[in-house]
């Protein structure tokens, strides 16, 4: 069974991969892609918080901001 921190880490990674592919494919799914970026940054940010990875946590704040701006821009 996967523990909470491992789940946060790998679910965050998976959603980041999906986000990257949706944006790169340029298929008109930008809003969904930016939502996935926001979700991914939240998951990885929580993982970083619990693991005391402060630099990664700070980076996720930037990614969350970029995801929010992307969602507003494409809405």
Of residues 23, 40, 21, 18, the one with CA closest to residue 74: 23
The pLDDT tens digits for 7-57 are 999 999 999 999 999 999 999 999 999 999 999 999 999 999 999 999 999
Domain carrying residue 58: 4-74
Question: Minimal CA–CA distance to 17: which of 43, 45, 46, 40?
Answer: 40
pLDDT at 2 over 80: no
Whole-structure pTM value? 0.92
The tens digit of pLDDT for each residue in 46-66 reads 999 999 999 999 999 999 999
In 3D space, the residue among 42, 41, 47, 36 whose CA is nearest the CA of residue 3 turns out to be: 47
- State the total domains in the chain: 1
């Amino acid at each position: 069974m996967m523990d909470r921190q491992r789940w946060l880490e790998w679910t965050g990674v998976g959603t980041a991969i999906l986000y990257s592919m949706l944006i790169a494919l340029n298929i008109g799914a930008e809003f969904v892609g930016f939502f996935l970026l926001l979700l991914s940054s939240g998951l990885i940010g929580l993982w970083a918080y619990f693991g005391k990875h402060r630099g990664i946590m700070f980076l996720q704040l930037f990614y969350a901001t970029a995801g929010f701006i992307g969602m507003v821009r494409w809405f």
